[in-house]
Every structure is written in structure tokens, then in C-alpha cells.
Amino acid sequence: MSFPRYECYKDSGVEWLGEVPEHWEISALKNQIRMRYGDALASEIREDGEIEVFGSNGPVGSHCVANTKAPAIVVGRKGSYGRIVWTERGGFVIDTAYAIDSDTTDLNLRWVYYGLQPLGLDSLSQDTGVPGLAREKAYEMRIAVPPHCEQQTIAAFLDRETAKIDALIAEQKRLIELLKEKRQSVISHAVTKGLNRDAPMKDSGIEWLGEVPDHWNVLIIKRFSTLQRGHDLTDAEQTDGPYPVVTSGGISGTHSLFKARGPGVVTGRYGSTGRLFYIEEDFWPHNTSLYVRNFHGNDPRFVWYSLQTIDFAAHSAKAAVPGIDRNDIHVLPVVVPPKNEQSVIAIFLDHENTKTDALIAEVKTAITLFQERRTALISAAVTGKIDVR
């Protein structure tokens, strides 16, 4: 959809603004808006209530007393500084954020919410040990201010249009979740039921497994793929080399030595528990991980897929730092086909997952385009590049 431009423009004198509608006012932000500090409200002194308590990253709790009118704009000061949040409920703004409400500006508040977004507030860090939004730098930024009635019209237009885009983005995100669910379902069926729909079946004796192919074996994981704790490696000890270092979150740098031959399968021991990584080459499994030390003659790629059906997170140790004890995993049941069938299943799943991953990549690209469209539309509307009246 294309939109008309205003009839007459003038040079704003501001590089990032360029030309603006002739009847719009150019003003420093400090002349239009006051971003007041929030009140420090530590979690131990909050009293549960209906009023949201905000920090730089958004809502962090609730309280029984409000100090900001509703609606309000919350701007992150520390942490996710420059982050802009709209709230209909008002509420406390703790000292890691600024607040803007109808007491701190005469502009249409909803227009302000949109008008702040193209300013790049997340780049205005103050020069301190802890990066944060420098309010004084923000105040010096110049904006183009339309008449009040136009502010209201622009805000209403952006509410409608961004709601449509947000709905499309939500649909695409839901599609990604459905594709991931389908991928997991295909994996689970292939490694527990096989690919031959006509294969004779038998009762596995395990409720969640149900029937499995008659010629497959039911083993405990220790007899299928023995897990081993990863190996200590400090930052000081790590030296550049050809071998990937695999932590609970995946590959994290390289090292000059290796501890495990590839191909290998690695999962998080604590931290990002439950994620599984397939490593083709020789590697160093970090002490935050568990890795398959012995495949017992099974196809490593099949093992990788088979272990994806195990809910590692559900077996996370009940300790101060939740983690996985390999002994808890070793006793879990797994169904094991003959080696040649394992390879066929792994090839099939590689093919199916490649198709699914391509679809997910397409959907993610669409989301990025929608988000770019949203950002561009807001910027164009609040700077007068399009006339939405």
C-alpha cells in the first residue's frame, strides 16, 4: 500500500529528519517532553497489588500504589536502555527506567510513543561503567511536531496499521511453532515406530512407547549410548586451534586439543539443558555438557535423533544450580532398530528436517520483512514523509 505525501515541505535542518511538512514545528525533545526518573522500589518492599512495576526490560512485578498516570510510556534507562514500552495501567517505574505520562507532556501521548521510536534512543549511552540512556542527550534531539489534531490522527492510523502487521507476525510465529512441533513428531515416530507401516509390532512394555516394531530391541540408554561428563577448560587454558569447544549452549570457540572423536552427540549438563548438538569433527566437550562417549556400535546420527525424544529438562537435578545427572538418563528406556535400519531412518529424517528448516527460514524472513515494514511505516508517519490524514 502506498500513501500520499504532504503538499508542501521544508528543510528541517536536522540530518536524520530531512524534509518535513511545512506546517510542522521543529523542536528539541526537552521542550516537548519530560522523562522523569522512576522511584526505586526493591522487590522486598513491594506490596502485591494491581499496579505494574516497571524496569528497563518491562514489567518486573506489582505494587498497591501508583505513581504514574495511566496510560504511560516507560523508557529503559539501564539494561535494555532506550526500550520503549506502552502501558495502559500506569504504575511505578523503578529507577532503571524513565516515565512519560500526561503530566510530563502536552503532546498526544500515543503519538509520543510512536514518535520516540525512530530516535535511536538505544544508541544514546552515557559514558559510565554501566551503559545507560543519557537523558540529557535524548533531550537535545530534535523532532518534528505536527498540530495536536494531526498527532491524534497519526497515532490512530499507526494503531490500526501496526495491529494488522502484529497480527501477521503473530501468525507467522505460530506457524514456526507448528512446524517445530511437526518436526518433533516426525522424529519421534521414526525413531520409535520406524518407517515401515506394515512392520509387525509388539508391546514394548513401556506405557509412553506403546507398540514398537517386533524386531527392535528395548534397552536402557546406558546400553545404547553411554554419556560422559565434559572436560574442564578455563578461558586461560583455551588456545586457538582447529577443534570446536562444545558447551551446554553449543559450539563456543575452538581449542588446539580435542577430547572426543567425531562424529559426536552433546547435550547441556547444566545451563541450556536438553539441547542436543551433532558434531561432525573431533571436539572438546566442555564441563557444562554431557557427550556420548560410547555409541555401542549404533549410528551416531540415529542416536542424535533418538535422544531428541528424551525430556532431559524433566530430569534436571533438584539442586541450587539445576542440572542433569547422567545416571538419571542412563536408566531411561529407548527402542533400538538394527544398525542398517538406523542409517535409513537417519537419512530420512535428514531429508525431512531439511525441508522443514527451509520452511522455517522462509517464515523467519517474512517476519523480518513485516518488522521492517512496521518500523518504516512508523518512521514515515511520525516524520511526515507520508500523509495519513
Max distance between CA atoms of the chain, in angstroms, equals 81
pLDDT at 295 over 90: yes
pLDDT for position 287:
93
In which band, very low, low, confident or very high, does the pLDDT at 262 lie, cut at 50, 70 and 90?
Answer: very high
Mean pLDDT for 150-158 is: 98
Calculate mean pLDDT across residues 107-118.
96
Fold match between 25-145 and 182-350?
yes
* 267 three-class SS: strand
- 82 three-state secondary structure: coil
CATH code for the structural domain at 182-350: 3.90.220.20
Q: Is the pLDDT of residue 321 over 90?
A: no
Rounded Cα gap, residues 215 and 201, in angstroms? 8
**Secondary structure class of 58 (helix, strand, coil):** strand
Tell me the three state secondary structure of residue 289.
strand
The pLDDT assigned to 314 comes to: 75
For residue 374, pLDDT beyond 90:
yes
Amino acid identity of residue 135, one-letter, is R
CB 135 within 8 A of CB 35: yes
Measure the CA–CA gap between 339 and 355, rounded to whole angstroms: 25
pLDDT digits 0-9 by tens, 206-219? 988 999 999 999 99
- For the stretch 265-291, pLDDT in tens is 999 887 777 789 999 999 999 999 999
Burial grade of 126 (CB within 10 A; 0-12, 13-18, 19 or more): middle
Residue type, 165: I
> For 127-133, what is the mean pLDDT?
70
Checking if the pLDDT of 319 tops 70, the result is no
Please give the pLDDT value at position 30: 95
Per-residue pLDDT at 317 exceeds 80: no
The model's confidence at residue 65, banded by pLDDT at 50, 70 and 90, is: confident
Cell representation of residue 49: 497489588
Out of 28-37, 124-133, 240-249, 287-296, least confident range: 124-133
- Return the minimum-mean-pLDDT range out of 32-41, 182-191, 245-254, 372-381: 32-41
Q: Cβ contacts of residue 284 below 8 Å, gap of 6+?
A: 231, 233, 243, 244, 245, 246, 255, 257, 258, 259, 260
Q: Domain boundaries in the chain?
A: 25-145, 182-350
**Which residues have a Cβ under 8 Å from the Cβ of 255 and sit 6 or more positions away?**
233, 238, 239, 240, 241, 243, 244, 245, 284
Render the burial of 24-34: b for 16+ CB within 10 Å, e for the rest: beeeebeebbe
The CATH number of the domain covering residues in 25-145: 3.90.220.20
Q: Flag the least confident range among 122-136, 232-246, 340-354.
A: 122-136
Region 33-48 average pLDDT: 82
- Cα–Cα distance between 121 and 125 in angstroms, integer? 8
Pull the grid cell for residue 13.
535542518
Cα separation, 385 vs 22, in Å, equals 12
For residue 84, pLDDT beyond 80:
yes
Q: DSSP H helical segments within the chain, as ranges?
A: 109-116, 135-140, 148-193, 300-307, 326-330, 339-382
Over residues 104-120, mean pLDDT:
96
- pLDDT grade for 294, boundaries at 50, 70 and 90: very high
> Which of 170, 114, 172, 124 lies closest to 144, judged by CA?
114
**Is a pLDDT exceeding 60 seen at residue 166?**
yes
Distance between CA atoms of 164 and 135, rounded to whole angstroms?
33
pLDDT in tens, 216-233: 999 999 999 999 999 999
**Hunting for cell 577430547 — which residue is that?**
259
Provide the b/e sequence for 171-198 (b: ≥16 CB within 10 Å): ebeebeeebeeebeebbeebbbbbeeee
What is the rounded average pLDDT of the residues 12-19? 94
Q: Give the percent of the chain with pLDDT over 90.
A: 72
The arithmetic mean of pLDDT across residues 280-307, rounded, is 96
Pick from 33-47, 80-94, 211-225, 316-330: least confident:
316-330
Residue 130: predicted pLDDT: 66
Residue 176 exposure: Cα atoms within 13 Å on the Cβ side: 13
The per-residue pLDDT for range 327-353, each reduced to its tens digit, is 989 999 999 999 999 999 999 999 999
